Homo-oligomer: A and B are copies of this chain.
């Protein structure tokens, strides 16, 4: 036994070019047991006597054995990894969502791989293709276009898909989202409570559904206070970047005093930060001359020169729940697709408190 063991060890150590990585077979030979036994050590250690197990483990260490996941997966039919295809890897919102997913994945002893589509449909499609070929256990995605038919196809072919932070048109998948109407409502209600009656809405509500909903919530809050839709002053932007916020700020500052809003509800914290920047350079005081409220509560909202009031989405829970839905789908025998909607909350800071 021992002789055999050492012999193989020597063979692998021979000076002539490293032959190839050791497999389960080499381990079996080195330990003087059968192939199946090694596999048992790996997968059902309790079925193996302590003595042999020790022998096998020693051989594995000696040969620097690394399990081959491809072969494993080929046999098992599915892998131990989840993937999140995120819309924008450089947006802290999505990385926080991903962190929540990681928590859930770790709890189930799975890996989470992150892919960044960077708003590009082609890259998104490429990643989806690869993930399906990898036979990942499931795909989490915040799609560029929420009605992507490809998602339905993938789900139909057997890879569960969960849509994150978007509400898909059809009900082929589970999804998690946040109630944007409610978010808009609490934001503007807060401004009204602070005594504001002319409120700017800054964002691209004509093109993005979620922004439209936030604006809808704003209108509802106004209505609830007996204020008509004319109390909402639209400053429409093309996107939701800091630069858009700066631009909107200049337009706002240019309005004549009687028309100029005393508060601004921004569709996004980035826009709010841009607005804040304009205020600083134009010597407008926040919140005295203009109260500002953002949306998302990104980390830098609290770090702004004037800490920003914002609407916080439960990002981490969003991610965790999405991953849990995905796991449920692979586990439950008769799975019903669920659409989970989270409720955002208001975080009040200096930018709206006078």
Q: Which residues of A contact B (CB under 8 A)?
A: 18, 21, 64, 66-74, 79-81, 83, 89-90, 92, 95-96, 98-99, 102, 106, 111-116, 118, 123, 126-127, 130, 132-135, 153, 157-158, 242, 270, 273-274, 276-277, 279-280, 299-300, 302-307
Contact = CB atoms under 8 A, between A and B. Distances in A.
A304 B302 contact: no
A276 B307 CA distance: 11
A114 B116 contact: yes
Interface of A is mostly: helix
A102 B119 CA distance: 14
B95 A90 contact: yes
B116 A102 contact: yes
A90 B92 contact: yes
A325 B69 CA distance: 25
A76 B184 CA distance: 53
Contact of A68 (B68, B81, B106, B135): B135
A274 B303 contact: yes
Nearest to A157: B64
A69, A106, A116, A118, most chain B CB atoms within 10 A: A69
Contact of A69 (B135, B270, B277, B302): B135
A71 B68 CA distance: 11
A75 B18 CA distance: 19
Nearest to A21: B158
Contacts of A127: 111
